[in-house]
Amino acid sequence: MKITRVRLFEVELPLVHSFQTSSHKKSSLTHILVELTDEHDSTGWGEVASPTHPYFTSETTDTAWLMATGYLVQSVLGVEWEHPGDVDGCWAKIRGHEFAKAGFAGAAWDLWAKANSQSLAAGLGGTRSVVRSGVSLGIEPTIDILLDQVDKQVSAGYGRVKLKIAPGWDVLPVQAVRQAYPALDLHVDANGAYGSDTSSMDRLAQLDAYGLTMIEQPFAPRDFPAHARLQERIATAVCLDEAVVQLDDLRTMIAMKAGRVLNIKVSRMAGLTVAKAAHDLAWNEGIPVWCGGMHEFGIGRAGNVALSSLPNFTLPSDVSGSDKYYARDVITPAITARDGAVDVPTGPGIGFAIDHAWIAHNQLRYFDSEVPADQSGRQ
């Protein structure tokens, strides 16, 4: 196969409900959609789901745009390839920028699966027809409000609830939710909010009493030793998220016994090729995985669903329906959850049609490798 044209669409979609992060309030999200065209005029689609600001990762929408238009487009144009894994080799020299690469990798996988008349899930080696989905709840103003939120999600059929925790919002909310829902699959995610000092360790160790499925990324992304110390001390599984960007990070996690569960985020790991390799390596090591999300639009979300159909995704993934976030998505039909589960699409590629009109309506920037750079700037 050969990529003959690349188009990029920076798209801003309004959110159904605005949400508060540690830094600011968001009422819309902006992602970059990647369309690759091959020599037979077939197209594949991927999504760069980088946040706008550099708080989860060092990347932003702007850095991804710069990397895509300045390097990644040129790296893939005209290259002959047989398998999407080959396309990763095009950008092997470019360090970092995993979110930007993930958009291109996703489009190559979609293109390849379509060329083989198979679903993306089948192309990746998926074995499930339905993926179990969990929900993630933020830090709420009060425990009563949190309990209301949990009740809403449990009533909607979600079998796993994740609570965001941080110093000052940890043991008491976990205790309250556990008392109200003794059998709920419950886990917590600190996004690296804790220091590795003794009092933080002691605090986190108290969570061991509540039957959590896992404690996710309590310490800073690179602090493998702190995660290993906590894992040695508690019975609850420690899960790594931000810490594992490359396969080598997963090897470090395994070697240091820094956790017993892995959250695979396709964007964080530079796309489906590396994500699948991480799944395979973790499976060999007896480490169960689940798929985390970045509030993807439908294209990236479809990739997450397909990936989650692989056999070692034995824990519920963050692949809830896109209708929770977007009134109208960039694919049709929208991805929806039913009783806390999402069907794995069986159509060719990502298995959804692209809503070109909605993309055009919400487009902020456009790039076309067939149009001179000075004519494809911000619109």
Binding mask 190-219 for Mg ion (x = CB under 5 A): --------------------------x---
- Counting contacts by CB under 5 A, is residue 47 touching Mg ion? no
Question: Is 296 a binder of Mg ion (CB under 5 A)?
Answer: no
Peptide bond into 333 cis (omega under 30): yes
Catalytic sites, residue numbers: 164, 265
CA distance linking residue 153 with residue 160, whole number of Å: 9
Our CB check for Mg ion shows the closer of 81 and 290 to be 290
Go through 62-79 and write b for each residue having 16 or more CB atoms within 10 A of its CB, e for each that does not: ebbbebbbebbbebbeee
- Give the span between the Cα atoms of 292 and 341, in whole angstroms: 15
Question: What does the alpha-carbon distance between residue 265 and residue 76 come to, in Å, rounded to a whole number?
Answer: 23
Residues in binding contact with Mg ion, number by CB under 5 A: 3
Could you give the string, one character per residue 227-256, with x where binding to Mg ion holds by CB under 5 A and - elsewhere?
--------------x---------------
Our CB check for Mg ion shows the closer of 34 and 264 to be 264
Nearer to Mg ion, 10 or 98 (CB): 98
**Shortest spacing between CB 69 and Mg ion, in angstroms:** 30
Q: What is the DSSP string of 334-367?
A: PP--BTTEEEPP-SSBTSSEE-HHHHHHTEEEEE
Query: Helix H segments across 139-209?
Result: 143-155, 171-180, 198-206
- Nearest C-alpha neighbor of 250 from the set 220, 215, 283, 219: 283
Output the residue with the shortest Cβ distance to Mg ion: 241
CB of 267 within 8 A of CB of 300? yes
**Closest separation between CB of residue 66 and Mg ion, Å?**
26
CB of residue 263 to Mg ion, shortest distance in Å? 6
Q: Is residue 189 a contact residue for Mg ion (CB under 5 A)?
A: yes
CB of 217 or CB of 369, closer to Mg ion: 217
Interface residues with Mg ion (CB under 5 A) are: 189, 216, 241
